[in-house]
Structures are given as structure tokens and as C-alpha cells.
Amino acid sequence: MTDAALTALFEHLRERTGPALLVADEHLDCAALLQLKVLPGLTVLTNRFDVAQCATQAGITSLFNDMDLTACTTRFKTISYRVSKEKAVVHHVINQAPQMLAADGELVIAGFKDEGTKTYISKAEQYLGCRAEVSRGERQLQIARFRPAHTGQPLDDRGYQDWHVIADLHGKPVFSKPGQYGWNKFDEGSRLLIECLQQQIPLPAAAPATALDLGCGYGYLSLMAAYLGVQRITACDNNAAAIASCQRNFQEHNIQGEVIADNCAHDIHHQFDLVLCNPPFHRGFDTEKSLTEQFVSSAAHHLKPGGFALFVVNQFIPLESIAAPWFKAVEVLYRDKSFKVLKLSC
């Protein structure tokens, strides 16, 4: 683990007494979790399915949900949180902390200055009615400890727990919510992928029977594929907010299929005629090439013989070379200054 903010939180957790909650997102990986298995009274709450699985396998009490701290059945002496990439998530976590802390409990947050941590600390001081005890580390790392006195005006979390209608599709609303990437818009890359898919299946009768939406988000690719004639769709994502949103849209648009919490379809063991994917290339604030490789290899394993996958990625992602060992044919269907769409065939 190289994240200095998480390292600082781990050091603090080793020093504390009493029940503790670690609120974790994609910054935390399985290797780092192994360092925590010796800490008694620790609960990990995460919106990442793979993190929850790893915590359970390590013998750590874990809870997988959409950053709902109130689902915990105890109050904590310590709540530790490494700030997330999305501001609404950070505000949502801070807003909930007071009601989940014991009377003498403290909230500890850590992050870097260029991630907005200084502003988060200032806003949290106003909301929690106390001055933070702030320490600093490498690369402008900031660690703040709060002992709430009284709560004021909650931080703006963009209506984190509410459904937001972001568009209309075939006369029905498309729902989304904060807590997932690109939650409040139709992603341009995904739109380009669907244009290419429509060229591959110009008539509904020509549509593949089954599809896997790999990393589904709120389900845009699934919705569009269904309207193009795909009969049954399985959508999966590692993020709890995405799963909730996609399930809501499947219900609203009467999509035949299922939505599954899973890390890159690791626990999905059947194959499909079509795989659709707009893969992430960030883990937290950092770019990570191995994420694209995971999605490409998963697509290869989940395609039926004769099937194909459509991927959209940013121009700088070397998808052609990444996909070559896994597929018989790699074809660029579209390219502009920002995106490229590739067809990968078995």
C-alpha cells in the first residue's frame, strides 16, 4: 500500500481503544486490508464490493452499502475516513458521523491538499462545532481529528440519498444519484459506443440475444442495448450506488435481466453473445493501467464463441495492445481526439 493518507489512518487505528469504523472506498485494496485483521473491534464499511469481500475473507467485520453509516448497529469511539474522489460522498460521510459516534468519540479524516482536504476540514469544523486537531505529512498530506460539540448546517451532499432524473429515454425517466462516476449526465464515450453498436445491429432482429454490461454504472449501456433489441442483459458493477441506480432503471424500463454486485464479473460464470464496457482507468485519484487489463480479460472469458465486445476508452489507453493477447480480432470502429471505440472478437 502506497497511499500515505491510508497509512496515517492505519497508524491512528492501531493506537485507539474501543470500537472503530473505517469508511473505505476504492483507495483501500485487499493487500492493505490484511494489515487490519489484527485490530480488535474494527468494522469496515465500504461502497466497494471487492473491498467488502476481502475484509470478510480476512476475518474483519464488514458492511457493503452506499456509504450508509446509519446501517451500523453500534456507536463508535473512532470513525476514520480517507477522503473520496467525489465531493458529495465526502460531505455525505461527514454529515452522518456525529450520530454514529459515541459521546466521547472522534472523527478522523485524511487526504491531500490538492484533493480539497483543507476545505473539507474547514467545512467540517463549522458543521461539527469544533476545531480540528490537524497534523501534516508528506506531499501536503493532512490528517484532521474532530470531537463534535454540536452540529450546524449539514454539508451540501447534492441530495446524496435521493433519486435524480437526469434524462428522458423513450418517454421514461433515467434515474441516477451521487456516489458513482459521471452520475449526472450521459457519458460521451458511452454515447459513442452505442452509436457503434447500432451500426453493428441496424435492426432489432439482428441484435445479440444476451449481453453483459461490464461496469454498468447507472445502466446507460444496458438501457440503450435493450432498446436496440438485446433480449436479456446482465449488468454488474463494483460500486453500491451504481448497483442501486441500475436496478432502479431496469425496473423503470422493464429490462429483462439482472443487476449484480460484482468486481469485474469475477463471480459471473456464464457467457454472453455481447459484452459492453466503458472501463475505468482511475483508482481513486490515480491512473491504473491494470484496471483496463482486468476488464479486457474478463470480457474475453465471458464471451461466447463467435461473440464480440465493444469497448470505449480514452485515446491514451493502449487498448489495442492490451486486447491483442485475448482476442482473435481487434478493430477500431471510431476514433476522435478524445475517444476510441474498439470491437473485440473471439
At residue 289, the pLDDT reads: 58
Query: Does residue 151 fall inside a structural domain?
Result: no
Bridge partners for 266 per DSSP: none
316 and 172 housed in the same domain: yes
Give the residue from 111, 146, 181 where a domain finishes.
Answer: 146
| Residue-wise pLDDT tens digits, 241-282 | 999 999 999 999 999 999 999 999 999 999 999 999 999 864
Domain region containing 76: 4-146
pLDDT value at position 59?
94
- C-alpha 266/C-alpha 280 separation (Å) is 16
pLDDT of 286 strictly over 50: no
For the cut 50, the answer to whether the pLDDT of residue 284 exceeds it is no
How far is residue 222's CA from residue 220's CA, in Å, rounded to a whole number?
A: 5
SS (H, E, C) 196-241: HHHHHCCCHHHCCCEEEEECCCCCHHHHHHHHCCCCEEEEEECEHH
Whether 121 and 237 share a structural domain: no
Q: Could you tell me which residues come within 8 angstroms of residue 178 by beta carbon, excluding any fewer than 6 positions away? A: 86, 88, 89, 92, 157, 158, 159, 160, 164, 184, 241
**Residue 288: its pLDDT value, please?**
53
Measured between alpha carbons, how far is 38 from 59 in angstroms, rounded to an integer? 9
CATH number of the domain that residue 96 is part of? 3.40.50.150
Q: Is 28 a member of any domain?
A: yes
Long-range Cβ contacts of 325-331 (<8 Å, 24+ apart):
326/296, 326/297, 326/299, 326/300, 327/300
Domain count, the chain: 2
| Same domain membership, residue 119 and residue 266 | no
Distance (Å, whole) CA 246 – CA 223: 9
* Residue 195 and residue 336 in contact, taking contact as beta carbons nearer than 8 Å: no
Question: Are both 203 and 254 inside the same structural domain?
Answer: yes
Across the chain, what does the average pLDDT equal? 94
What distance in Å separates the CA atoms of residue 128 and residue 131, rounded to the nearest whole number? 8
pTM of the prediction?
0.94
Residues 241 and 175 in one domain: yes
Same domain, yes or no, for 224 and 189?
Answer: yes
Sole residue written with cell 476545531: 131
**pLDDT tens readout for residues 217-230:** 999 999 999 999 99
pLDDT in tens, 301-337: 999 999 999 999 999 999 999 999 999 999 999 999 9
Residues 34-43, mean pLDDT to the nearest whole number: 91
pLDDT band at 239 (very low <50, low <70, confident <90, very high): very high
Question: Do 76 and 187 fall within a single domain?
Answer: no
Give DSSP secondary structure letters for 133-190: EEEE-GGGEEEEEE------SPP--SSTTS-EEEEEETTEEEEE-SSSTTTTS--HHH
pLDDT computed for residue 247 by the predictor: 98
Q: How much is the CA Rg of the chain, to the nearest whole Å?
A: 21
pLDDT score of 228: 96
Mean predicted confidence (pLDDT) in 19-37: 91
